[in-house]
Every structure is written in structure tokens, then in C-alpha cells.
Amino acid sequence: MMERMDVDKVRASGEVDVFGKKRNPFVLVGALATAGVLFGGITAFRRGNKALSQNMMKARVVCQGVTVALMVATSGVLGSDKALFQETWKSWTGDTQGKK
């Protein structure tokens, strides 16, 4: 039998989050970029191109750093409710009229 789905875990886009937490799309993009650079570096190393392999491993570290920085930077925004985000954005941009 099918289990009843918890309405709180279904988002407006239809996406269901099993753990009840919001997903950060930057994490997926960063993970894919990091994995791509890693496999490119491994491939270059197996082909004997040590200089390219070394540069790819440096690029992998940069991709990982950017991913972690994006996770930290967006965790407060994605972890809070929309009204709090809108208030913060208005205070940063100086929007006091509140467009509707």
C-alpha cells in the first residue's frame, strides 16, 4: 500500500524532500563541477600528461572551495523563510516602498 505523503514536504514546484529540508541547487552544481574536474585530472594523469593533471587537481581544489563558500553563503537564505529573506533584501537595497 502507498503511504500518505506529508503535505509539508511537497514544495510548490512539486519537488518532494524526504528529509524535510530545503535543497541547495548550488551544492549539486558545485559537486558536478568538482567531479568533472577530478575525472579530467585523473584521465590526464593516466595518459601521462602530468602538467595538465596537476593543473586539474588545483582547479578541483578551487571548485571545492567555491562550492563550500556558496553553501555557507546561501545556507542562511535557503534555511530561512521567504518573508525574512525579503525583509533582509529590502534593507540591503534600500527598498522602503515594498513593490507588490
- If DSSP states are collapsed to H, E and C, what string results for the chain? CCCCCCHHHECCCCCECCCCCCCCHHHHHHHHHHHHHHHHHHHHHHCCCHHHHHHHHHHHHHHHHHHHHHHHHHHHHHHCCHHHHHHHHHHHHCCCCCCC
The count of domains in the chain is: 1
Domain interval for residue 55: 24-93
Asked, for residue 60, whether it belongs to a domain, the answer is yes
Is residue 81 situated within a structural domain? yes
Is 6 within the bounds of a domain? Answer: no
How many Å apart are CA 43 and CA 53, to the nearest integer?
Answer: 8
pLDDT in tens, the chain (100 residues): 445 545 444 555 545 455 555 667 778 888 899 999 999 999 999 999 999 999 999 999 999 999 998 888 877 665 555 666 677 777 778 776 655 5
